[in-house]
């Protein structure tokens, strides 16, 4: 297990490109989301890393804010 991986082998800190792939957005969109503070990140030397927990938190907030789909009965 590498130092930046969790026990299930998924990375704990993601590169912006990896986060973009998980969100199905472009890399530049992911950088803009980080720059705006929409997604929390850490700067390690000159490298931007996104904690997996921050990405999960972002998605949870988006899901909570989403209006429920209209259901037909």
DSSP-derived pairing of the beta strands 47-51 and 42-44: antiparallel
Q: pLDDT tens for the chain, 73 residues: list them.
A: 455 555 666 669 999 999 999 999 999 999 999 999 999 999 999 999 999 999 999 999 999 888 666 455 5
Would you tell me the crossing angle of helices 52-65 and 16-23 to the nearest 10 degrees? Answer: 30
Q: Which three-class secondary structure state does DSSP give residue 23?
A: helix
**Residue extents of the structural domains in the chain:** 13-62
Q: What distance in Å separates the CA atoms of residue 29 and residue 60, rounded to the nearest whole number? A: 19
Closest CA to 5 of 65, 51, 57, 42: 51
């Amino acid at each position: 297990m590498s130092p930046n991986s969790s026990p299930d082998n998924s990375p704990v800190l993601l590169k912006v490109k990896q986060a973009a792939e998980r969100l199905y957005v472009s890399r530049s969109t992911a950088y803009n989301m980080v720059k705006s503070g929409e997604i929390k990140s850490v700067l390690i030397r000159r490298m931007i890393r996104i904690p997996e927990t921050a990405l999960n938190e972002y998605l949870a907030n988006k899901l909570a804010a989403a209006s429920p789909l209209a259901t037909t009965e």
